[in-house]
Amino acid sequence: MCARSDQTSRLHARRTLPEVTVPGSAPVRHHTIVWLVWAVSAVAALQLASSPFTVLLVIGVSTLLVETCAEHRGLAKAFPILVGAAAAFSLLRVALTALTTHGGPDVLVRLPSFRLPVLLGGFSVGGTIERAVVMRSIAEGLVVVGVIATLAAFNAVVSHHELLRLLPRAFHELGLVISVALAFVPSTLAAVTAVREADRARTGSSAVHKRRVLRTVGPVLETGLERALLLAESMESRGFARRAPGRVERRAGALSITGLLLLSGAFAGLLARRPSLAAALAATGGCALTIAVIMVSRAARGGRLRTTPMSGRDRAMVAVTVAAPLLLAWLATAGAPLRWDVHASAFPPLSAAAAPVILLLAAPAVPMLLRREGRV
């Protein structure tokens, strides 16, 4: 092997192949830790400042980051889909809450009411729909949309493989499988587009609706399966999962199962109203799982590709994004109106101090925007 490597080394000086590169501006890339800290900070900010205006600001910041920093167009395309799904879920939640929860003086509308069977909870559905209930439910739903927008933006901007490298070695295979699965999101979206286009192209651009689902689902599934098989072959050919589990891994596996059983026991203890027993089981189970992870991580052979070092800019980004929830926490203790009490005011509050603090979360987009302006 060494002799072959030496031979390869001789090729260093002979790099004369012409390059063909698709033009396009590569985005400014932040360290994965920057994005992790950003996601945690944004979610924390949403918890601290749940007023609809601040939530909308966080959603806006997330959109800006996807627009400026997303490297994977496919994952960027998934952003509006995920936000839309969250909005639909929130609307459904608003409807269900309004129909089943009652309180407050301002009645918006009166609906017929009926009581569900005991088996389904036995509560009443319909009746009066109050403003406070609807408004509070909308505000809570908006926070859900904000959290999903934050996570969808994180998904679009972060390098999944670098994220994987930050995990303990014990989770390498699992993380890789998840990262490969995520990579199928953009390719599936592309396949859907291609199939729909092919469908229209077949008849010379005539709009065709008959049996459309069948004509779309079949080829998309086929394309996905073919791609999955090729990828599996590629992974297999490159030695994935080559090493059989050794003695340490087998012991760690047994320890993990024990840990999970103990945690299940803790849950059962909670149900049986034995909190001290539950706490003891949970602590022991947690320790067993932690030890198992450490054992597998230490037993992992071989090196890993260099982890990208954090630059000064990355550290600055971390500092700025962490500052956002810290400043919001300080504002909250100082009495700034960061939450909306639907009973106290008809309109959500907008804190003049909170808005610029939330905008700190947009810091990772600044280098890209400056680059577009040609300043860096």
Partner 1 sequence: MSAISYRGVTVAYPDQAHAAIAEIDLEVRRGEVLLVVGGSASGKSTLLRCANGLVPHTTGGRMAGDVVTFGRSVREARPRDLADVIGFVHQDPESQFVTDRVEADVAFVLENLGADQATLRRRVEEALDALGVAHLRDRPPAELSGGERQRCAIAGALAAAPEALVLDEPTSQLDPQGAEDVLAAVARLNADLGTTIVLAEHRLERAAGMADRVALLEGGRLTAEGDVRELLSGYAGAAPVTHLGRLLGWTPTPLTVREARAHAGDLTLPAPPPRTGTAGDDLVTAKGLSVRLGGREIFRDVDVRVGEGEIVALLGRNGAGKTTLLRALAELQRTERGVVTRAGRVAFVPQDPSSLLFATTVRAELRETLRLLGRDDPAAIARALDRLGLSAVAERHPRSLSGGERQRVAVAAVAVGEPEVLLLDEPTRGIDADSRDRLEAALRAHAAEGGGAMVATHDVELAARIADRVIVLGAGEVLAEGPARDVLAGSLFAPQVLRVLPPFLSVDEVAAARGRGQA
**In the set 105, 122, 210, 334, which binds partner 1 (CB under 8 A)?**
210
Shortest reach from residue 206's CB to partner 1, in Å: 7
Q: How far is the CB of 225 from partner 1 (least distance, A)?
A: 10
Closer residue to partner 1, CB minimum distance, 243 or 343: 243
234 belongs to the binding site for partner 1 (CB under 8 A): yes
Per rule CB under 8 A, is residue 227 in the interface with partner 1?
yes
Does 370 participate in binding partner 1 (rule CB under 8 A)? no
Given candidates 181, 198, 254, 355, which one binds partner 1 under the rule CB under 8 A?
198
Pick from 206, 273, 276, 374 the residue near partner 1 by CB under 8 A: 206
Tell me: does residue 5 bind partner 1 (CB under 8 A).
Answer: yes
Q: Which of residues 239-258 bind partner 1 (CB under 8 A)?
A: 239-243
Rg (the chain; Cα; Å)? 27
208/272 with CB nearer partner 1 = 208
Closest residue by Cα to residue 138 from 194, 195, 179, 94: 94
* Residue range at the interface with partner 1 (CB under 8 A); choices 4-12, 246-254, 313-321, 331-339: 4-12
The nearer residue to partner 1, 123 or 240, going by C-beta atoms, is 240
Q: Which is nearer to partner 1, 19 or 333 (CB)?
A: 19
213 interacts with partner 1 by CB under 8 A: no
Burial (CB < 10 A; 0-12, 13-18, 19+), residue 228, is middle
Tokens of 269: 């203890």
Q: How far is the CB of 26 from partner 1 (least distance, A)?
A: 7
What is the footprint of partner 1 within residues 148-177 (CB under 8 A)?
Answer: 159-162, 176
Shortest Å distance, C-beta 372 to partner 1: 9
Picking from 198, 176, 177, 161, the residue whose alpha carbon sits closest to that of residue 72 is 161
- Which positions from 259 through 278 interact with partner 1, judged by CB under 8 A? none
Pick the binder of partner 1 from 208, 261, 319, 355 (CB under 8 A).
208
Decide if residue 115 touches partner 1 (CB under 8 A): no
* Residues 286-305 within binding reach of partner 1 (CB under 8 A): 301-305
SS (H, E, C) the chain: CHHHHHHHHHHHHCCCCCCCCCCCCCCCCCCHHHHHHHHHHHHHHHHHCCCHHHHHHHHHHHHHHHHHHCCCHHHHHHHHHHHHHHHHHHHHHHHHHHHHCCCCCCEEEEEEEEECCHHHCCCEEEEEEEHHHHHHHHHHHHHHHHHHHHHHHHHHHCCHHHHHHHCCHHHHHHHHHHHHHHHHHHHHHHHHHHHHHHHHHHCCCCCCCCCHHHHHHHHHHHHHHHHHHHHHHHHHHCCCCCCCCCHHHHHHHHHHHHHHHHHHHHHHHHHCCCHHHHHHHHHHHHHHHHHHHHHHHHHCCCCCCCCCCCCHHHHHHHHHHHHHHHHHHHHHHCCCCCCCCCCCCCCCCCCCCHHHHHHHHHHHHHHHHHHHCCCC
Q: Which residues 174-193 are close enough to bind partner 1 by CB under 8 A? A: 176, 179-180, 183, 186, 191
Site string for partner 1, 25-64 (x = CB under 8 A): -x--x-----------------------------------
Q: How far is the CB of 169 from partner 1 (least distance, A)?
A: 10
Residue from the set 47, 110, 166, 202 that interacts with partner 1 by CB under 8 A: 202
Comparison of 299 and 366: residue with beta carbon closer to partner 1: 299
